[in-house]
Each structure stands twice: as structure tokens, then as C-alpha cells.
Amino acid sequence: MQRVQTSKNLTGLNICLDALKVSKKVAGVEYAIRDIVLAARKVQEHGMQVDYLNIGDPVQFGFQPPDNVKQALIHAINRGENYYSSSEGLLELRQEIAKKENLKGLSISADDILVTNGVSEGLDMVISSIVEEGDEVLLPGPYYPPYASYVRLHGGIPVEFGVDLNNSTPDIDDIKSKITSKTVAICLISPNNPTGVVFNEKSLKELVDVANQNNLYIICDEIYDQIVFDEKFVGIGKVAGDSPVIVLNGFSKVHLMSGWRIGYIAFNQSPQLEDIRENLPKLARVRIATSLPVQHAALESLRGPQDYISTFVSEIKKRRDLVVRRLNEMPGISCSNPKGAFYAFPKIEDKRFGTDKEFVTNLLESKGVLTVHGSGFGEQYGSGHFRLVYLPNLEILDSAMNKIEDFVSQ
């Protein structure tokens, strides 16, 4: 334990005290997507311009919520709706969310919805409600880092299962082989961060069947549900039946409200979810509420015109096409074609670059392009890759691709 020198105590004597402890579970938390920014700042301090391709935030790259959504937030504030909402969330918003989820296949009502401060809070609530010390949770490899972080934070063990990135299919046999007496849930992220994989109806049905055969929760993150390019999106609701499915979703990506932090949990109508439906809302009451003005903005984003979403997706598809083509033309790099979201997850075929973390660090320091090492999304299936976002405009992306190509061609 670190020793720290204090100032004089009450008796006038100088003493050394041990630094107060921090829990191991918190000290071990990592979030590669933001942790890597510290290295980028050092590069900038030495005078090099940095292209930030690490954060999946469309608003930072010029995409904004529509004016009617912004005005809904402002009007709510001006009307004086600056007090606590109910812990479950604004009723009208929950009703609209239920309508949206029912269009994707669920059959739920406002009572089945709990509004959260982003998907991350919803994920934390769900994981803390189902995981005991030593429990195992199956995650698609590679996975979005907070999934493993929250599982570990609550005493659980994340277990990765394989996914075919080219065919967007989960390895069902691998999943079956990794289910043990300690497994409590299977998590899905579709469209996936970091790979852009989108599971089709057949794959979703197989996953639900495996979960049902083993009496497991099915946690499905669909925050990128409308950002798909080549095929129609199929939600877990279409194949859920009365299975114990919990859907996580929010307004950061599709609705361009990332900084306002609003999401939701949707519980399927399943008898197996009775206990968690009764107990998880206690966590919502403990944290009081979600911002009421922001909830009014979210309500308007669902009720108002939706044409901005197709425009946004069309622009992102152009950027995806450029990035994937350029990456696959580079020596020592290969990249599967993302079917959704706004991330590419190239594989580093040339071993001379060392580890994926060394590749990302050297690319940043020599060319000023910030990406994220693939092992930050899970060692087993993420290692040997790197992730980049294709949200910047085409000119910036093309310039960044030139820099990456120069780097790998050295």
C-alpha cells in the first residue's frame, strides 16, 4: 500500500499514513474506448493533430437532434418541468416506447418499461439484479466493454462466445459448450459494437431456444436498431414468445441524443421475469429519477418526424463503404463488412506490428490517428483487431485512411 506524507496532526507531529484503500473490483475496471484518450492528449501536447476515431458519438461529428426535439427540451424547462419525475419514467414516454418495441415484435405496455439514464445505467441495474458472486454471463465475442465491467463489478464472470463476423452468426455449439451450472444469462448486442454484426431471425431464434433450454435470462441490447445498411433489422421481440427476454435500448445513437443520457429497459411478458420486475425498480427508486426535460425531448423524438433517421443512416452507409473498401486495400489488414452501427473492426493480419495495443499506440504516435485496440473488447476474440468509427465526414475519413495506409505500408 502506498505511503503518503500528511501535514501536521493535532499534536503538531508529522506522521505518515497509509493511502486509504480502493476496492479491487473498482480498481480493475477498464474502458478501452476512453482510456486510450489519455495517450492521445499526450500526442497533442507535442504538437501533432489527432484524428479521433475512437468514440461512437454521432453528435460530436456534426449530427444533431432535430430542432423539434431540441425545442421540446427547452419548452419543458420553460414550463417549469424541472422537478423529479416518477422513478419509472414519464408515463407518456413509456407508452410511446412500448409502441416502438411492439412494432419490433414484443407485446408489452408502459408498465413493462423503465426509463434509465442511458443504456449503461440500465445494463448496470439488470446485471446487479441477476448476478451473484461467481455467476457466469455469456457475452458475444468481441463485446462492448461495460458488459464485462458490470459483470465483474457485481462479482460475476464474463464468458465470451464466438461470432462469425463475415456471416453475422453466433456459434451456437460454442455457446452450448460454455453453459455451466453457474451461467445465469446470455447477452446479445445486435447491431453489435464493435463489429457491426446484425443477427438474423434464425440466429435470434436459436439463441432464445438455447437460453430457454437452460433456464437463462436473455439480455438484448438493440440501441443501434435502426442503423442497418444491407438487410432489414429483426428485433429479439419477433422470436421472444413468452421467453425471459430483457431489451435494452436508448436515444443516444439513432435519435442523436448522446449527451442527454436517456435509455430504457423493456421487460417481455414472461412469468419467469416476475421476480426481477418486482425487485429491479427498487434500484430506480434509489437513484431517484431520469431528467424530466430530457424525457420530454425523447417523447418528441418518437412522436415527431422520423425522416432524419433515414438521412443519417444513408450518410453513414457512404462512410462505411469508403472505410471498408480502403481498409481491405491495405497490406496486412482485412475487414469484414459491418451490417449495422458505425464501427469497423479490422483484423491485423501482419504480425510484425506486435500486439493490437502496440499497433494502436504506434499508429497514434506516428500518424496521429486514434483508434481502439481490439483486446479492449475482450481478449479471446478481440485480440489482433482494432476498432474505428466511421462517423467523421468523407474528407476526414479518407485522410485518416491515407495515414493508416502509410503506417501499414512502412
User: How does pLDDT run across 135-185, given as a tens digit for each residue?
Assistant: 999 999 999 999 999 999 999 999 999 999 999 999 999 999 999 999 999
* Within-domain flag for 13: no
* Within-domain flag for 33: yes
pLDDT tens per residue across span 259-298? 999 999 999 999 999 999 999 999 999 999 999 999 999 9
Domain end residue (candidates: 257, 272, 303): 303
Instruction: Please provide the average confidence, as pLDDT, over all residues in the chain.
Output: 95
Domain end residue (candidates: 303, 332, 356): 303
Q: pLDDT grade, residue 81 (50/70/90)? A: very high
Could you give the number of structural domains in the chain?
A: 2
Which grid cell sits at 276?
426481477
Say whether both 57 and 148 belong to one domain: no
Q: pLDDT grade, residue 385 (50/70/90)? A: very high
Give the residue carrying C-alpha cell 500486439: 355
CATH number for 179:
3.40.640.10
Say whether both 287 and 326 belong to one domain: no
CATH number for 44:
3.90.1150.10
Would you state the pLDDT for residue 12? 60
Rounded distance between C-alpha atoms, residue 305 and residue 285, angstroms: 33
Give me the domain span that covers residue 365: 24-63+307-409
Say whether both 248 and 110 belong to one domain: yes
Instruction: Using alpha carbons, select from 250, 124, 139, 238 the residue that is nearest to residue 189.
Output: 139
pLDDT above 70 (res 2): no
Rounded distance between C-alpha atoms, residue 253 and residue 58, angstroms: 7
338 cis-preceded (ω within 30 degrees of 0) = no
Rounded distance between C-alpha atoms, residue 41 and residue 46, angstroms: 9
Say whether both 72 and 54 belong to one domain: no
66 cis-preceded (ω within 30 degrees of 0) = no
Q: Please give the model's pTM, rounded to 2 decimal places.
A: 0.94
> What does residue 105 show for φ and ψ, rounded to 5 degrees?
125, -15
Average pLDDT on 328-355 reads 97
Say whether both 59 and 71 belong to one domain: no
Rounded distance between C-alpha atoms, residue 44 and residue 40, angstroms: 6
Would you state the pLDDT for residue 292? 98
Domain end residue (candidates: 287, 303, 319): 303
Say whether both 359 and 294 belong to one domain: no
Would you state the pLDDT for residue 231? 87
Say whether both 76 and 59 belong to one domain: no
Q: pLDDT grade, residue 76 (50/70/90)? A: very high
Measured N-to-C along each axis, helices 37-45 and 356-367 cross at an angle, to the nearest 10 degrees, of 30
